């Protein structure tokens, strides 16, 4: 465009200069003949300077472009110099200062800023800007392992020939076996412009979650709206987010029937604390350290073909122990007492005994099967379970 304008200006200048030499001119036109080379030269310089300095950016100051017209092209007319005023934009700031500004923008602000120009678009898509928003909002309900598996999946979708040469492994593909509709991001066509958003960027991940089109694995406390059969438990589910209502919809792993649940609040969700898939026995690495008073989660399922859920409990004392901490030797015994105090003392679900040495899955088809154990060390994690405590003792 710039080249075209300069060419037009140059052509006009040459044409007028030659036309002035082939015919007699009136006195005022003779003066304009002397003026025209200077005028067209100044106009060309102005256009070049203007195009170099003007950018489609957000300016701190609104500076109008001044076009000063020629005045009264008469005998004594003079052409005034065009004054240039430098505008100040965000892109004139040092990189560090600009990054500090962009880091303080919300996700919506970054999207708005990205629409200003190509330079800001590229900056506002940067992973380091979106990582902060991902961690603040989504890391509490989605594990890092899930994000890595998603990223590997979308990259493999872009390169199907590499996918055919490798075996599908890991948490992501084990879940795909149970949930055929797991991750379904709409990948952009390879024929699109290079300016399109990379499908494996953190911004793409964030926007897929916000749109509700991406179903992701997480865990839900007290599933099915606090059904008494699931009190103080946490089960794996496939979740979708409704950004307008700020709630979630869940699809639980099938165990006889597919169960769904709506209107799930943030406080009932958590990122899976371990990478163990829901149908796999967790390897217990804390059995030797368990002692009365410790807070634990244990896997439990009703039947072997069902997925595990995580249930909250406390390590209790042996029957022969007087419960005096100064004389307690329960932690030396091979037997470990698991107590689930949300149930009444005479309930069959109140206590369970496991073997500390070589504990594997224990149970039967009547009472269910107890799996791996993880000890809780984080006070906030323990407090969260206590906040979910039922209002009355269960049978």
What are the tens digits of pLDDT across the range 4-43? 444 554 444 444 444 444 445 444 444 444 444 544 455 4
pLDDT score at 148: 85
Six-digit token string for 178 = 């149970």
- Nearest of 314, 309, 299 to residue 389 by alpha carbon: 314
pLDDT tens-digit profile of 107-117? 999 999 999 99
**Calpha distance 107→110 (Å, rounded):** 5
Burial of 126 (0-12, 13-18, 19+ CB in 10 A): middle
- Residues 242-266 have a mean pLDDT of 89
CA within 13 Å, CB half, 77: 16
Strand partners, 339: 314, 351
Binned at pLDDT 50, 70 and 90, residue 150 comes out as: confident
Q: Report yes or no: 275 and 145 within 8 Å, Cβ to Cβ.
A: yes
Q: Report yes or no: 83 and 45 within 8 Å, Cβ to Cβ.
A: no
* Mean pLDDT over each residue of the chain, to the nearest integer: 77
pLDDT tens-digit profile of 270-307? 999 999 999 999 999 999 999 999 999 999 999 999 99
Higher-confidence residue of 197 and 64: namely 197
Binned at pLDDT 50, 70 and 90, residue 254 comes out as: confident
Binned at pLDDT 50, 70 and 90, residue 256 comes out as: low
pLDDT tens-digit profile of 345-374? 999 999 999 999 989 999 999 999 999 999
Six-digit token string for 35 = 């003026």
pLDDT tens-digit profile of 154-188? 877 765 544 444 444 454 454 444 444 444 444 44
pLDDT score at 41: 54
Q: How many CB atoms lie under 10 A from the CB of residue 9?
A: 16
**Calpha distance 279→361 (Å, rounded):** 12
pLDDT tens-digit profile of 185-217? 444 444 444 457 787 899 999 999 999 988 999
């Amino acid at each position: 465009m710039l080249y075209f304008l300069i060419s037009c200006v140059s052509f006009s200048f040459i044409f007028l200069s030659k036309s002035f030499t082939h015919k007699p001119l009136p006195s005022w036109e003779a003066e304009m003949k002397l003026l025209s080379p200077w005028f067209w030269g100044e106009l060309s310089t102005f256009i070049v300077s203007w195009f170099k300095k003007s950018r489609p950016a957000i300016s701190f100051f609104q500076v109008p472009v001044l076009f000063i017209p020629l005045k009264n092209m008469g005998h004594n007319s003079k052409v005034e110099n065009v004054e240039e005023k430098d505008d100040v934009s965000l892109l004139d700031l040092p990189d560090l200062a600009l990054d500090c500004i962009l880091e303080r923008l919300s996700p919506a602000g970054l999207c708005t800023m990205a629409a200003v120009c190509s330079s800001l678009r590229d900056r506002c898509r940067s992973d380091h800007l979106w990582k902060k928003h991902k961690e603040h909002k989504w890391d509490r309900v989605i594990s890092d392992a899930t994000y890595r598996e998603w990223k590997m999946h979308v990259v493999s979708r872009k390169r199907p020939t590499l996918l055919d040469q490798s075996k599908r492994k890991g948490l992501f593909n084990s879940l795909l076996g149970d949930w055929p509709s797991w991750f379904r991001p709409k990948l952009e066509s390879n024929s699109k412009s290079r300016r399109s958003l990379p499908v494996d960027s953190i911004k793409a991940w964030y926007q897929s979650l916000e749109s509700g089109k991406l179903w992701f694995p997480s865990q839900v406390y007290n599933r099915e709206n606090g059904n008494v059969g699931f009190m103080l438990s946490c089960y794996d589910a496939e979740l979708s987010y409704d950004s307008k209502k700020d709630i979630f919809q869940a699809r639980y792993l099938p165990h006889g029937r597919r169960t769904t649940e709506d209107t799930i609040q943030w406080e009932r969700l958590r990122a899976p604390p371990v990478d163990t898939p829901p149908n796999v026995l967790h390897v217990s690495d804390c059995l030797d350290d368990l002692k009365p008073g410790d807070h634990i989660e244990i896997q439990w399922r009703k039947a072997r073909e069902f997925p595990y859920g995580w249930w909250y409990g406390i390590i209790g004392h042996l029957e022969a122990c007087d419960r005096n901490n100064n004389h307690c030797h329960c932690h030396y015994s091979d037997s470990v007492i698991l107590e689930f105090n949300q149930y009444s003392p005479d309930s069959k679900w109140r206590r369970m005994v496991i073997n500390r040495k070589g504990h594997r899955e224990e149970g039967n088809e009547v009472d269910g099967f107890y799996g791996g154990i993880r000890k809780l060390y984080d006070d906030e994690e323990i407090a969260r379970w206590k906040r979910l405590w039922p209002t009355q003792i269960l049978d």
